[in-house]
Amino acid sequence: MKRTFSGIKPTGHLTLGNYLGAVRQWAEVDQHRSDALFSVVDLHALTVEHDPARVRRLSRQAATLLLAAGLDPERCTVFVQSHVDEHARLSYLLECTATDGEMRRMIQYKEKGARARAAGESVRLSLLTYPVLMAADILAYATDEVPVGDDQAQHVELTRDLAVRFNQRYGHVFTVPKATHPRVAARVMDLQDPTSKMGKSAEGGAGVVYLLDDADTIRRKIMRAVTDSGQDVVHDRETRPGVANLLEILSACENGNPEALAGVYESYGALKKDTAEAVVELLRPLRERHAELAADPAYVDEVLRAGAARARGLARPLVDRAYRAIGLLPAG
Ligand code: AQP
């Protein structure tokens, strides 16, 4: 059976982008047709300025939301990255495989590093090396497929390069994974700035639909989405990014096609109204299930404990093999 791994960072409240670009696919497809592991990758939340109590809170919330979104612990493994030491162990070996030039070319490092410098903050070394830890997350499980949004494609490419390089130098240890992306909405854009990705850490959040936003907030944010000059509804990301974004969100909700949907609408107002209602209905069951699960933290803890135990059991022998292959003396 194929192995799938993917993760989500507890750097903010989960967004519609996270759901349409990744989590929905995990729940509806991946857990049914592969041996799937999904992780709240909390070590990645430490690469930027962070508040320890908030990271802890967001980690629990993210895990609860993954279950609310339909991840079924009977079908897949849900765990917190820092509960499994093998991620950090393997990351060091991959740092000894990657080059600093490769790291500096990563788009997210360039963007987030520039943002931190502009805010007068220092850039943590872990922001530079974060893609190597992500490679370790993936390679520790002999992963075949990594279902992610578009923005992670470059990191999965790097993971492939590191796996191939390690295998060529030290003998075959790692499976070479590939990224998979959803058919539509692989990159949901910010509703207020449709040339930027809808992200968890966007300031203010007016352009971001959070999974736990109530129905009226969702409606308000979508009705106020920036649209483009012109009146006709066409799907063109270059010249009409705002309208294209709404068409893609609506298509994802209805399992439709943005080009075909564009032909149905004669005004931006009608498109916004239908998109708002479709998103409200899409997220309603998730919000309701989240409220039930949040009232039962012991259940969530038990899922995470069992998930970490299984993940550890899978990763440890593989990471031990990598340690031996690279030239480290086995402990007695
Ligand atoms: N806007 C998006 N559209 C489609 N997919 C998205 N993903 C994230 N944003 C979008 C996908 O969700 C999964 C988990 O994402 P993450 O936690 O690794 O990253 P993030 O949400 O982008 O979080 P950041 O980096 O903490 O937030 P920002 O960008 O605000 O700084 C991934 O599969 C991702 O592709």
CATH number at residue 76: 3.40.50.620
d(C-alpha 243, C-alpha 233), whole Å: 7
Query: What's the mean pLDDT in 112-140?
Result: 94
Top pLDDT among 202 and 281 is at 281
- Are both 123 and 212 inside the same structural domain? no
Average pLDDT over residues 187-201: 94
Percent of the chain residues past pLDDT 90, beyond the cut: 89
The predicted pLDDT at position 161 comes to 98
Q: Which of 18, 159, 245, 279 to mutate to test the pocket of ligand 1 (most atoms within 8 A of CB)?
A: 18
CA-to-CA distance for 265 and 263, rounded, in angstroms?
A: 6
Residues 82 and 117 in one domain: yes
Question: In the predicted model, is pLDDT for residue 226 greater than 80?
Answer: yes
Residues enclosing ligand 1, CB less than 6 A?
A: 8-9, 11-12, 17-18, 20-22, 148-149, 151-152, 186-188, 197-202
- Catalytic-residue membership of 112: yes
pLDDT tens readout for residues 314-328: 999 999 999 999 999
Ligand 1 centroid, distance to 149 Cα (angstroms): 7
Tell me how many domains the chain contains.
2
CB contact at 8 A, 79 and 39:
yes
Query: Please, are residues 186 and 149 in contact by the beta-carbon 8 Å criterion?
Result: yes
For the entire predicted model, the pTM comes to 0.96
Over residues 205-213, mean pLDDT: 95
CA angle 43, 332, 83 (to 5 degrees): 20
* 12 shares a domain with 31: yes
pLDDT at 80 over 90: yes
- The tens digit of pLDDT for each residue in 279-295 reads 999 999 999 999 999 99
Residue 123 pLDDT exceeds 90: yes
- In the predicted structure, residue 203 carries a pLDDT above the cut 80: no
Residues 106, 212, single domain; the answer is no
Q: Give the residue-averaged pLDDT of 132-142.
A: 98
Q: What is the mean pLDDT of the chain?
A: 96
Question: For position 331, what pLDDT does the model report?
Answer: 86
Q: Does the pLDDT at position 174 exceed 80? A: yes
* Identified catalytic residue from 197, 221, 272, 273: 197
Q: What residue owns the CA closest to ligand 1's atom 23?
A: 200
Residues 125 and 274 in one domain: no
In a domain, 61, yes or no: yes
**CA–CA separation, 89 and 218 (whole Å):** 42
Tell me, yes or no, whether 260 and 275 share the same domain.
yes
- Choose which residue among 49, 151, 209 to substitute to test ligand 1 binding: the one with the highest number of ligand atoms within 8 A of its C-beta: 151
Indicate the pLDDT class of residue 308, thresholds 50, 70 and 90: very high
**By alpha-carbon position, which residue is closest to atom 8 of ligand 1?**
18
Residue 229 pLDDT: 84
86 in the same domain as 16: yes
Mean pLDDT (whole number) for 178-206? 92
Each residue of 29-44: pLDDT tens digit? 999 999 999 999 999 9
On whether residue 331 sits in a domain, the answer given is no
**Could you tell me the distance, in angstroms and rounded to a whole number, from the CA of residue 169 to the centre of ligand 1?**
33
Predicted pLDDT at 231? 79
Is 197 annotated as catalytic? yes
For the CA of 186, the closest atom of ligand 1 is: 4
30/23 Cα distance (integer angstroms)? 10
pLDDT of residue 31: 98
Tallying the residues shown for the chain, one arrives at 332
Question: Which residue range is the domain that position 285 belongs to?
Answer: 185-295
